[in-house]
Amino acid sequence: MAFERAQIESNRAFFAAKLGAEKQKNDVVKKVKEGEGDFLLLDTRGRPAFRKAHIKGAFCLPLEELDELAAGLPRDRELVTYCWNDT
């Protein structure tokens, strides 16, 4: 099944926007280490996983607490979230 030109352009636009909104972990860690990150780094794993290990400078914002804590997040800074399996 061949894709129509409009489908190809739509997919291209979708993935370009997605890539523009995502950051690679290594890039974030490097900016944090160099003190160049003008963003708020949020670890969305649970608190036990955060206590076990996290990127230096990150704040713990578990997904299950997002609704109650979201109003307190700054609106004038970029928010960068991350998570990974802690096993």
- Using one digit for the tens of pLDDT, what is the confidence trace for 29-62? 788 888 777 888 999 999 999 999 998 888 999 9
Q: Which fold has domain 23-82?
A: Oxidized Rhodanese; domain 1 (3.40.250)
The whole-number pLDDT of residue 23 equals: 75
Query: Where are the domains positioned within the chain?
Result: 23-82
Query: Angle 13-16-19 (CA atoms, 0-180°, nearest 5)?
Result: 150
pLDDT at 19: 81
5-28: pLDDT as tens digits = 999 999 999 988 888 777 777 777
What span, in angstroms and rounded, lies between the C-alpha atoms of 27 and 76? 21
As a dihedral over the C-alpha atoms of residue 40, residue 27, residue 87, residue 79, rounded to 10 degrees, the angle is: 20
pLDDT at 57: 85
Determine the pLDDT at residue 85: 66
Which candidate, 36, 53, 52, 45, places its Cα nearest to that of 82? 45
Do you know the residue count of the chain?
A: 87
